[in-house]
Amino acid sequence: MITVLQRTSEASVQINNHTVGQIGLGLMILIGIEEADNQEDIDWLVRKISNLRIFNDENGVMNLSLLDVDGDVLLISQFTLHASTKKGNRPSYIKAAKPETAVPLYERFIEQLEGVLNKTIQTGEFGADMKVALVNDGPVTITLDSKNKQ
């Protein structure tokens, strides 16, 4: 699994001109799931995301986690994170998981992160055409790849 974390002061997602998810302070997370992903990937990412110290403390130092600031999450599925651009000019998405594999993993990821944060996560809709808006606070943008933990 690949994630792109963006620290936000606000973020939202629309489908067919209707807002389906919206947050204030927290993280907007793009998640790409590949065929080889499993529960171990979910466990590692949930632990890392919830404890990553990327929010400012009272001294303006990134020393607080999502848990510390009681931040919200907007989670957006994005298979294009697994784009291969090595050959030609048209990306290949062969590594991206098919919906029958990706959807159950996506749903487990949501459930597990909600359990750790003890709050509901805002989401888009898996596979939908979405319009995502955010104010990237900082800006802070971090990628995490569960296949590259080192």
DSSP string, 45-113: HHHHHHH---EE-TTS-EEE-TTTTT-EEEEEE-GGGG-B-SSSSS-B-TTBPPHHHHHHHHHHHHHHH
Q: What is the pLDDT of residues 3-48, one digit of tens each?
A: 999 999 999 999 999 999 999 999 999 999 999 999 999 999 999 9
Q: Is the distance from CB of 133 to CB of 63 less than 8 angstroms?
A: no
Q: Active-site residue among 8, 78, 122, 123?
A: 78
Q: What is the pLDDT of residues 44-67, one digit of tens each?
A: 999 999 999 999 999 999 999 999
Residue 98 lies in a domain: yes
pLDDT at 26: 98
List the CATH number of the domain containing 53.
Answer: 3.50.80.10
Known catalytic residue at 120: no
What is the number of domains present in the chain? 1
Q: Active-site residue among 3, 55, 79, 123?
A: 79
Residue 54 lies in a domain: yes
Residue 150 lies in a domain: no
Known catalytic residue at 80: yes
Amino acid (one-letter) located at 137: D
pLDDT surpasses 90 at 112:
yes
Q: Which residues pair with 26 in a beta bridge?
A: 8, 72
Whole-prediction pTM: 0.94
Known catalytic residue at 55: no
If pLDDT is split at 50, 70 and 90, which confidence band does 83 have? confident
Q: Is the distance from CB of 6 to CB of 28 less than 8 angstroms?
A: yes
Domain span including residue 28: 2-145
Q: Active-site residue among 80, 120, 141, 143?
A: 80
